[in-house]
Amino acid sequence: MRSVPDFSIEKICGKKIIAGVDEAGRGPLCGPVVAGAVVFLKCDFDDMPIISDSKQMSEKQRDIAYDWIISNPNIIWSTGSCSPAEIDELNILWASMRAMERAVSNLNIKPEYCLIDGNRVPKNLTGEAVVKGDAKSLSIAAASIVAKVTRDRLMKDLAKKYPEYAWDKNAGYPTPEHLHAIEKYGVNEHYRKTFGPVKKILEICEKS
């Protein structure tokens, strides 16, 4: 049975301004890693749509939740990201941490405490890590939706410029079709060159 996120963890924290923080895009071969940060200023909403782990929601459900989150005057949200070049420089773990720090820094209110999805708290944030937090905390779940929708829409926009890679369908993940497209059309500036499949293709190109 899938758990439903609520505000239980937020209430236990004993803080007034709590930011849920999550990222999207660790696994893709290209594009940025994007983090979302969300602060609920109140905990009772009569019109709240489905808000859960973004990976378990349909695209339509995510879009509805995203629109509700960003237009709600009682919710403060922001995003932060790290580029493919930064990912190659830092590695994906530390780039994800930096994206989370940027998302929190971009909030127009300073949170007293952060709930971070996963098992690690970025060094410049105050708070706690919550394993599978997007299935437990509404603040984290909302942040996961903001991060994923933001990134997915970015990849769709990039796909208009590079339609041959079908990023609007694969979001940069290493599907067989995507890997074939990279082999056929090559690696551009949006790719993470330290990621295995991309690195392998670059090495083959250098030898040929």
Query: Which CATH number covers residue 138?
Result: 3.30.420.10
The domain total for the chain is 1
Give the pLDDT of residue 122: 98
CA 157 to chain centre: 17
Give the pLDDT of residue 1: 46
φ, ψ for residue 76 (rounded to 5)? -110, 135
Is 163 within the bounds of a domain?
Answer: no
Is 100 within the bounds of a domain?
Answer: yes
Is 13 within the bounds of a domain?
Answer: yes
Is 198 within the bounds of a domain?
Answer: no
Is 31 within the bounds of a domain?
Answer: yes
Is 130 within the bounds of a domain?
Answer: yes
Is 206 within the bounds of a domain?
Answer: no
Low-confidence spans in the chain with pLDDT less than 70: 1-2, 207-208
- Of 88, 198, 44, 66, the residue nearest 145 (C-alpha): 66
Is 201 within the bounds of a domain?
Answer: no
Q: Range of 59's domain? A: 8-158
Q: What pTM value is reported for the model?
A: 0.95
Work out the burial of residue 72: count CB atoms within 10 Å of its CB; fewer than 13 is exposed, 13-18 middle, 19 or more buried. middle
In this structure, what token pair is assigned to residue 190?
Answer: 């949006």
